[in-house]
Amino acid sequence: MDNSRRSFIKISALGASGVALSATAFGSINQNALTENNLLAESAKNLKRTPTYCEVCFWKCAAWAYTDEENNIKKVIGNDIDPHCFGRLCPRGTGGVGMYADKDRLKKPLIRVGGKNGEADTFREASWEEALTLVASKMQGIKDKYGAESMALLKHGSPGSHLEHLFKAYGSDTIAEPAYAQCRGPRETGFGLTFGSWIGSPEPTDIRDTKCLVLIGSHIGENMHNSQVQEMSDAIDNGATIITVDPRLSTAASKSDFWLAIKPSTDIALLLSWMHVLIYENLYNKDYVDQYGFGFEQLKEHVKDFTPEWAYGITTIKPEDIRKTARAMAAAAPSVIVHPGRHVVWYGDDSQRERSIAILNGLLGSWGKRGGFYFKEKVKIPKFPHPPYPHPKWGWEELVEKYPFAEMGSTTEVIKATIPGENEEYPVKAWFVAGTNLVNTVPERAMIEKAIDALEFIVVMDTMPMEITGYADVVLPECTYLERYDGIRSATNRVPSIALRMPAAKPKYDSKPAWWMAKQIGDKLGLGEYFKYDDLKDVISWQLEQMGTSLEEMEKVGVKMFERKSGSMFIADGEPHEFGTNSGKIEFYSTELAEKGFDPMPVYTPHAQPEAGFYRLNYGRSPMHTFSRTINNPNLNALKSENKLWVNPKVARIEGLRNEQEVWLENQDGIFSEFSIKVRVTERIRWDSVYMYHGFGHTSKKLSRAYGKGVSDTHLISKVSVDPLMGGTGMRGNFVKIVLENPHKNTEV
Ligand code: SF4
């Protein structure tokens, strides 16, 4: 590995003829490719460009799709003026054209004709008319029999918003997405309780100007959040101090000034001890805390005994390292970011860990400061006129009512409410699943399968034959983001902007956009008043005109910036500022938590550790892939086709393992991995854990490149620790042992 800090990350500035560049996100770009100027010159001559924004992940980088005279999409290149990508797509986005080209795509609507195991012969092809009439009649049947509320929408990504409109018009607000309870929900709760503001996406972190960036289990760089990765690279170049807390030497850790190889599950102890050092060494930002803080004295008393020596016994991080890193943060303050992370559902006390991170930022005075967190802003997209939605009798809010700080639907609670006897009051009877491969996204597979068995109807909309389509009664093939209009992108950022997505090519095969499906189903359900347009283009055109621009202008520029309306991104020293909390201040002591009977300040609680012979299962992102959905993408699969099991040399010695050896895994509940995984022996992981990239180990044979390659971490996550504040499902408390013989040798997976 090249260890120079300068070479941390180089994101692609160009894409070559529909093939993802062969460089990783961290090495040098393949210079055999055309230079950017040559490429653009060539593009101008031969290719037509169409604005879009990337859907390979949720960062939604604005881009240009280039098509040839035969209307084939040749490449996708970042839009120079876009604040999500600064003109450069990440390796996945560059390879996004592979989604369009993948021959394994869903091609026709499918209707189940028998069985429930996903085998090809249990479906038959159908016309759109037949498939959508069936979906509409089933939705009507559920509404008549149980109420529309019993039909749930489980969704991810842009298509979800079109279906959300359909569901609200139909009378159901039983809507959830894994992005909340299985990903970032706890950080919104933790920061919301402290600063009165959600983090949101993209995160309002002023990384480019920071002097110190602290990453806790966050592996930016492998986690390709484009603009954030580029800003981190700039921050490294500018000499920022990087502190990484991770049981694994991630790529970010390898470029850090401090790598704290923490014992997994003990992060809150480290965070409390950092607070102790800042307060008791008088390193905290006193003026800021005096002016904006609430409950500082209680916090001071609370962390009195949480010395670095106390934390050492828990975290295995040496006291001098805890002190040194706390002092480094204080030296950089307020231009310091203790990053909230993104996939933060770990041990069930995740909202409180996020509170600890928020409190640290409060002590350092980084919220609302250059090099810390900026005040984000977005533009409001005008709502296309439609009648008011009906009021459902219950919905996602009732399903999460036992979690007082839940602010979005929980996929897990929808799944539970589907299982007979689990939730008699709010029973879910049918699902519409859009763009999320639930069985490889949500943990506790046995629970999901039990729920699916009880469903009266399940319709799945996707671009690919993901595992979840095998459980469907009706499968609706969606076209890819490169073949459709979608809603105007308006995301929070330093400066508000919008981006346009329009079709760069006609949908391949017999696939259709989600907005079209939603409208057809709506019309069939007698909800035509909510869909008074022929084409989504008409809606977008109307919205753009309300915003003082036009479709014609947006087709030319792709991205448009707007003036900030809410004033400065930062608070000037001494300037009054009201925070959105009960007290109007940064709550070191949370009045809301106290009112509702929770710990008003974070407390460290020990979590279960692996028994002898078991290792904690840690997982994370590969820079080449997003979740499980890109593994089959021909361009991205060519870069990484399987995951490996990272094991420490000590573990390799004990278990008798060598590099590239194929092994299987068995978790604490006796669940075996479906396939084998190759061993990677490395000092980069602690001896008490193993690590793998997420999203591999596909069992759908229709995914010709991804089937049987590597192991699914989600399959081995059969136990979760639920966050009592917001219902997040902590997934890092699963342990595996390494099995040398194929446990399936007498059975077929
Ligand atoms: Fe696409 Fe990469 Fe941007 Fe995600 S970060 S939207 S994959 S270019």
What is the band of 27 on the pLDDT scale with cuts at 50, 70, 90? very low
pTM here is 0.93
Distance from Cα 62 to the centre of ligand 1, integer Å: 9
d(CA 379, CA 117): 45
Distance from Cα 85 to the centre of ligand 1, integer Å: 8
The residue whose C-alpha atom lies closest to atom 1 belonging to ligand 1 is 93
pLDDT single digits (tens) 694-732: 999 999 999 999 999 999 999 999 999 999 999 999 999
d(CA 558, CA 538): 17
d(CA 278, CA 284): 5
Say if residues 27 and 2 touch (Cβ distance below 8 Å): yes
Which helix H or strand E contains 666, and what residues bound it?
A: strand 662-667
pLDDT single digits (tens) 259-275: 999 999 999 999 999 99
Write the DSSP string, 579-608: -SSTTSSEESS-HHHHHTTS-SS-------
Q: Is 323 in the pocket of ligand 1 (CB under 6 A)?
A: no
- What would the mean pLDDT of 742-748 be, rounded to a whole number? 84
- What would the mean pLDDT of 204-225 be, rounded to a whole number? 93
Answer yes or no: is pLDDT of 429 > 50: yes
Write the DSSP string, 198-263: ---SS--B-GGG-SEEEEES--BTTB--HHHHHHHHHHHHTT-EEEEE-SB--HHHHT-SEEE-PP
Q: Is 97 in the pocket of ligand 1 (CB under 6 A)?
A: no
One-letter identity of residue 113? V
One-letter identity of residue 63? A
Say if residues 622 and 640 touch (Cβ distance below 8 Å): yes
One-letter identity of residue 11? I
Q: Mean pLDDT score of the chain, rounded to an integer? A: 92
pLDDT (0 to 100) of residue 564: 95
Find the DSSP H helices in 249-307: 251-254, 267-280, 286-292, 296-302
Distance from Cα 225 to the centre of ligand 1, integer Å: 7
- Among 61-65, 177-181, 594-598, the minimum mean pLDDT is found in 177-181
Answer yes or no: is pLDDT of 390 > 90: yes
d(CA 357, CA 215): 10
Answer yes or no: is pLDDT of 6 > 50: no
Say if residues 621 and 694 touch (Cβ distance below 8 Å): yes
- Among 36-50, 358-372, 488-502, 665-679, the minimum mean pLDDT is found in 36-50
Burial tier of 291 (Cβ tally within 10 Å: 0-12, 13-18, 19+): middle
> Given the CA of residue 53, which atom of ligand 1 is nearest to it?
6
Residue 266 CB coordination number (10 Å): 21
Distance from Cα 54 to the centre of ligand 1, integer Å: 6
Handedness of CA 123, 127, 128, 129 (dihedral sign): negative
Say if residues 477 and 464 touch (Cβ distance below 8 Å): no
d(CA 520, CA 133): 9
What is the band of 39 on the pLDDT scale with cuts at 50, 70, 90? low
- What would the mean pLDDT of 75-101 be, rounded to a whole number? 94
Q: Is 648 in the pocket of ligand 1 (CB under 6 A)?
A: no
Q: pLDDT: is 220 or 677 the higher one?
A: 677
d(CA 84, CA 270): 32
Q: How large a percentage of the chain has pLDDT more than 70?
A: 93
pLDDT (0 to 100) of residue 23: 32
Q: Is 226 in the pocket of ligand 1 (CB under 6 A)?
A: yes
pLDDT (0 to 100) of residue 121: 56
pLDDT (0 to 100) of residue 117: 54
d(CA 662, CA 518): 45
- What would the mean pLDDT of 157-181 be, rounded to a whole number? 95
pLDDT (0 to 100) of residue 607: 97
pLDDT (0 to 100) of residue 10: 47
Q: Is 359 in the pocket of ligand 1 (CB under 6 A)?
A: no
Choose one of 90, 486, 636 to mutate for the ligand 1 pocket test, by most ligand atoms within 8 angstroms of C-beta. 90
Q: pLDDT: is 439 or 388 the higher one?
A: 388
pLDDT single digits (tens) 614-635: 999 999 988 888 878 899 999 9
The residue whose C-alpha atom lies closest to atom 4 belonging to ligand 1 is 57
pLDDT (0 to 100) of residue 221: 84
Q: Is 165 in the pocket of ligand 1 (CB under 6 A)?
A: no
Say if residues 153 and 175 touch (Cβ distance below 8 Å): yes
Nearest to 507 by CA among 475, 479, 535, 481: 479
Answer yes or no: is pLDDT of 119 > 90: no
Q: Is 268 in the pocket of ligand 1 (CB under 6 A)?
A: no
Query: How far, CA to CA in Å, does 146 sit from each of 393, 542, 696?
Result: 11, 37, 38
